[in-house]
Structure 1
Amino acid sequence: MSTLRLGVHRLPAAEVVVIQTIVRLSAHDGAFPWKLVDVPPYDALLVDGTTTEGGCPEAATMARAVLTLTRVSSGDPPNTLERPIRAEKLQQWLKNTERELLAAQPALPTTDEQTAMEMEVSDSVRFMLRRWPPAALLGNDSGNVRMASLLSRCELNASELADLSQQSFSRCVGFLQALRKAGVLEVHPESILPRETELPIVPKLTGAVRNHIALGLIGGIRRGLGLRASSRLSKRSTG
């Protein structure tokens, strides 16, 4: 099962300890995929709705799911949790959020889709990340993180990605397909110089050939001067 990353933002230290305890105890259940982390990326984020007016708008850019902790119940609106934090309510929200994230996660390509993708990922097509993939797509998998890191730094074709990441070619194809479905992948076909624009190959001249050409030019100049002198003499004699 893929691990999902849970973060906290601007919460009192005492509540952070409570959340850590709930997550740690819940982790004994093999079906509980959540892990409390200190740094992004986050799959879900818990924020304090009382620290600023109107909650915490910037949290929406930090995670796809945000749970706001409030002081007073206001009809139990979605994605809010009344204080004090109760383990069963937090666990239920995390389970619901897990289902929503997994439902939104791009499905792995079928055999037919992967075959079609393999036909499209020839060495003349290169790929690069437009932005970092969501944590749910990476799935806390070191191979996926390695491939994403490579694609975030430079343009690579599928063969180069497989060599540098030390992953199988078919796995790279599947990962590229998932990235493309998630809308985080740029595709860059390589431009090929047309044959008619190729520069001609100029043969390298040897010393003998250069001397022959130079002597021919000098001879031509001398002949031209001789013809001009003869013309002037003939004009004088007729005059």
Structure 2
Amino acid sequence: MALGWEDIRAEVLRRIEARHWAPGTLIPTEEALAEELGCARTTVNRALRDLAAAGLLERRRKAGTRVALHPVRRARFDIPVTRLEIEGRGQSYAFHLIEERRAEPPPAVASLFRSLPGVPLLRLRGLHLADNRPAIYEERWLDPAVLPEPAPDFRRISPNEWLVSHVPWTGGDIVFSAANASPEEADILGCAPGAALFLCERVTEAEGRPITSVRLLHAPGYRLRADL
């Protein structure tokens, strides 16, 4: 059975921890590792990128990949399934789809997706509820190319849960900040206009290609918790 990227990652990590490759050592090329381990070069590339993101490898174009001299632990964030997150707190969950349509994105989003003028993306807006109370307001742009035929029914499953379950991702970007609720957002989340809200803006990619861009506004009282 062909090895997956997680298997390659585990083997590379084993060699690092066993000091087969000491800190600062230039490790074999992707081609050499792929031949030795009997897998595709892209599989090795995925494993090495993951270890580099974790701070265990240093990768430089045309200079190869080395074991980090001073490994740094970096914060890693998994994309949670909102339903499971809410149910894990002992609350009932529901999702209300507010809008689903194909539309030409604004310039900032079009630039992110490298879309041509006039090429539509899928625009999705929805509300996640906990115990029938507003919890998270979601505004999302999605590349329609990732959807199967027939497309999923986002009235039955949230875009968040469908994407996490069906579309592999390899990277992206995430920003946390505070935002004041606009009148429309306040009406959706059941809070006062101008109320301070926790905002998460996330872009998810697969092999460098954006899949989705989402803006998540949490109702007042939300607290972020992460393991170190």
TM-score, normalisation: structure 1 = 0.26
Name the one with the larger strand percent.
2
Name the one with the larger helix percent.
1
Greater relative contact order (Cα < 8 A, sep 6+): 1
Max Rg structure: 1
